[in-house]
Structure 1
Amino acid sequence: MTEKRMKMLMEFAQPESLIPQNVKPLFDVWLRDTHIILARDGYYYCTGTTRAPGTENAKLYNDGIRMWRSPDLRQWEDMGLVWSFEKDATWQNRWYAPGGGGRECEPFSDQAHRAVYAPEIHQINGEFYIAASMNWPPQEPGEEGSCTFLLKSASGTAAGPYVDVGNGPLTHRIDASLFVDDDGTVYYVWQDGRVAKMKRDMSGFAEDPHRVPQQHFSPEPYCEGAFIFKARGKYHLCLAIWTMDEGDHLEYSVGSVPQKVSYDCVIATADSVYGPYGERYTAITGGGHNNFFVDKDGRLCATMFGNPVNESYAPFYARPAVIPMEWKGERVHPARRENDG
């Protein structure tokens, strides 16, 4: 990054939100939407959006959900595909062309889409679940087309095999997550802060979905990657958002092509899972679509992957990583040590 470019970017980013330069990829695999948990068996499990061998566009086509595990966040074991279209998919095996009004088409044709993305692994009452998104015919006028669904491990282990809980999409739109409150109530969370309480048996929703009230930016940019965690007695709604400096949406051009500068993790806080959520702040500049977890040492950590934008704030592109976090008052930001950069 040029000195001139860095100076301009720094005008739009708070230093406390920047990713420390000593944050490195956990392993060398193309991965987006990194999600990590610490399970009861003592392993960390990692998943995210992956590409099938020989493909470039993971949202056009991929082969399923891959997973890795580690005892220490340093040494990682590749568990391979824990859910695949070939072996495990049922209703998900539909190929369609999003530009053609959701019409079905021949597999692997030029316009054919069939990909699963942004999977998250969760352990609830000892059982492993994966919430995920995939291409799906549009349900509303002007919508790109997508849906979310929920899988449960039939073996009780993170390795699966996984079976569909709802026998079909649970929602349209994207980026499904699960949040477990202190009383054991489970909530399904997706897109930009849409929430629905789950039935006790996790077979579906126990209430009508709704979008939580929150303070929006003006103008409101596109929001995705919703994730809720609870800390210090508060509920923290995390969103992935194309924005800078608490609401300023900065764009620049390379030639005639507009370039979005940064893909950030913003957070808003509430006293109830249903909100209302207050003012958003940028927790991690360049760290959009991530999750938060507590490691074996009791540290709050965030995941990241680095979105492919020219000269972005992320130190690398499409690789899984973990950022130790720290509280500064009521806000959480990357933890810093001397010489972190």
Structure 2
Amino acid sequence: MDPDTIRASLQSHDRALYIKSGWIRHPYITLGPDGYYYLTGIQPNEGDPREVENPYNIGLGDQSIVGNQVRVYRSQDLIEWESLGVPFSIDDTLSAKKAGKSPSRIWAPEIHWMPKVEQLSEVNRIPGVDQMSGYWALVHCPQNVASLAISNDSELARPWSHPMGSKLGQRHDPSLFTDDDGTVYLLWRNTMIAPLSKDFTHYTSEPVRIDPSGTRPGPNGSPITHIGHEGATMIKVGRKYVHLGTAWSTDQIRKGSYNLYYCVADNITGPYGPRKFAGRFLGHGTPFQTKDGKWWCSAFFNANVPPLPREGIETSDLGDNAQTINEQGVTIVPLDVRVLEDGEIYIRAKDPAYATPGPDEAQKF
């Protein structure tokens, strides 16, 4: 989209915006301490010609163009993007440091700003890290090379330390959530959750599984209890914990639309309420707030065929294949995030093409 359209629509907060081209999956957007929005995600390695030659590569199987680098961009306005290069790669993982260079790909990277800590006992300090100025934490998968890496200072750059070492464990789709009291939690595998020590050297309690209440019928007749199968993350709205997860609309892998769902609890470990629908085509997106407080969610191309037109998509049954309206690149979709009069949390995409569960949706909302 042209800059003027994006700029106006960021204010009106009523339509999806295509803000950046280029091959990417699971785009993660966060607002840094310097007023920049930072963007990363699954990408090919820098300079890989297949990014242009094969724009609708699905990123899976032997033909995948997913690389082993974490590429990062920043922007003051979500319009003009500056590349920060490759601040992290497979060579920076703990597994590579122990066993030499690994050819493994890097999946689902996230970067989290860790605010400065004014008071820390010596036992809680991370060696070599300037916690008085703040620092970055980076997580990624696949689980055999998963990392929780810490930058030395406020620069999103090498060198990276791994305070947890092998105690991190094998973690699929790890994500971080920082609570109001400063406690940092790791979420993974849709969904386990555990708090981390202040120095990021260990878990401070055993992992707990969090699921929505109730069940839904699965494709094979067995009840499904989990929120989805990947892309778990968490935000806080008011005093409520909002657990978000990703699943295909049909509850069958790569059939239907790739959607975002949520459930809500008063306590971080639950119990959580029922599974609710947040948005179609928003699977493994990042809910984030712009500087003016508006909520958005990132979205991306995840399908087996090129994007479908928006027209009539609300009533289109997509259940026979993996399909989307998202173009390859980064789209952001406005979210309606509210605390209702009865105290319940309401989250729903505002753009009509994303706001309605399709006919292929397995769960009835």
TM-score by length of 2: 0.70
Aligned residue in 1 for 2:136: 128
1:67 equivalent among 69, 72, 81: 72
CA distance in 2, matches of 1:174, 1:77: 29
Aligned to 2:270: 275
Kept after mapping to 1: 8 A contact 2:167/2:202: no
CA contact (8 A) 1:149 1:169 kept: no
For 2:130, the equivalent position in structure 1 comes to: none
Superposed, 1:26-41 pairs within 5 Å as: 26-41=19-34
Aligned residue type for 1:83: F
1:234 to 209, 226, 240: 240
Cα distance, 1:172 vs. partner? 2.2
CA distance in 2, matches of 1:49, 1:277: 30
Conservation of the 8 A alpha-carbon contact between 1:82 and 1:162: no
In structure 2, relative to structure 1, the CA distance for the partners of 1:300 and 1:259 (3 Å cut) is closer
**1:92 equivalent in alignment to 2:111:** no
Partner of 2:349: 334
SS in 1 for 2:96: helix
Letter in 1 for 2:329: R
**Counterpart for residue 191 of structure 1:** 189
Give the direction of change, closer, same or farther, for the CA distance of 1:281–1:94 in structure 2 (3 Å limit): farther
CA shift, 1:301, in A, is 1.6
Aligned to 1:218: 217
Distance, in Å, in 2 between the alignment partners of 1:235 and 1:186 is 14
CA distance in 2, matches of 1:25, 1:164: 35
Q: How far 1:334 moved relative to its partner?
A: 1.8
Q: How far 1:94 moved relative to its partner?
A: 8.7
Counterparts in 2 of 1:1-341, with a 5 A limit?
22-52=15-45, 53-54=48-49, 57=59, 62-86=67-91, 88-92=92-96, 114-125=104-115, 126-134=134-142, 136=144, 148-168=146-166, 170-215=168-213, 216-219=215-218, 220=224, 223-243=229-249, 249=251, 260-310=255-305, 311=308, 314-327=324-337, 329=340, 330-336=345-351
Higher helix proportion: 2
SS in 1 for 2:107: strand
* Cα deviation code 1:179-211 (max 9, x no counterpart): 111111111111212100000112221111121
| Structure 1 residue ranges (4+ consecutive) displaced by more than 6 angstroms after TM superposition | none
- Report the CA distance shift for 1:327/1:25 in structure 2 as closer, same or farther (over 3 A): same
Structure 1 residues 58 and 83: alpha-carbon distance in aligned structure 2, compared to 1, 3 A threshold: farther
How far residue 167 of structure 1 moved from its aligned partner, in angstroms, is 2.6
Deviations 1:222-280 (A, max 9, x none): 51111010002211000011125xxxx4x7xxxxxx95011100001111110111111
Does the CA-based 8 Å contact 2:40-2:109 persist in structure 1?
yes
User: Does the aligned pair in 1 maintain the 2:258–2:281 contact within 8 Å?
Assistant: yes
Q: Retained in 2: the 8 A contact 1:115–1:135?
A: no
1:35: Cα distance to partner? 0.8
Displacement, 1:29?
1.5
Instruction: Supply the distance in 2 between the matched residues of 1:25 and 1:51 (Cα, whole angstroms).
Output: 20
How far apart are the structure 2 equivalents of 1:58 and 1:162? 28
Counterpart secondary structure, 1:115: coil
Bigger mean CA deviation after superposition, 303-312 or 194-203: 303-312
Query: Greater strand percent: which structure?
Result: 1
**Structure 2 CA distance for partners of 1:176 and 1:210, relative to 1, 3 Å:** same
CA contact (8 A) 2:109 2:141 kept: yes
What letter matches 1:92 in structure 2?
Answer: A
CA 1:167 to 1:54, structure 2 compared with 1: closer, same or farther past 3 Å?
farther
Looking at both structures, which has the greater relative contact order when contacts are Cα pairs under 8 Å and sequence separation is at least 6? 1
Alignment: residue pair count = 284
Label 1:318 to 1:150 Cα distance change in 2 as closer, same or farther (>3 A).
Answer: farther
CA distance, structure 1, for counterparts of residue 93 and residue 191 of structure 2: 27
Q: How much is the aligned-residue C-alpha RMSD, in angstroms?
A: 3.0
Closer, same or farther: CA 223–199 of 1 in aligned 2, 3 Å: same
C-alpha distance in structure 2 between counterparts of 1:27 and 1:201, whole Å = 36
**CA shift for structure 1 position 149:** 2.0
2: CA distance, partners of 1:30 / 1:336: 23
| Percent identical residues | 27
| 8 Å Cα contact 1:238-1:265 kept in structure 2 | yes
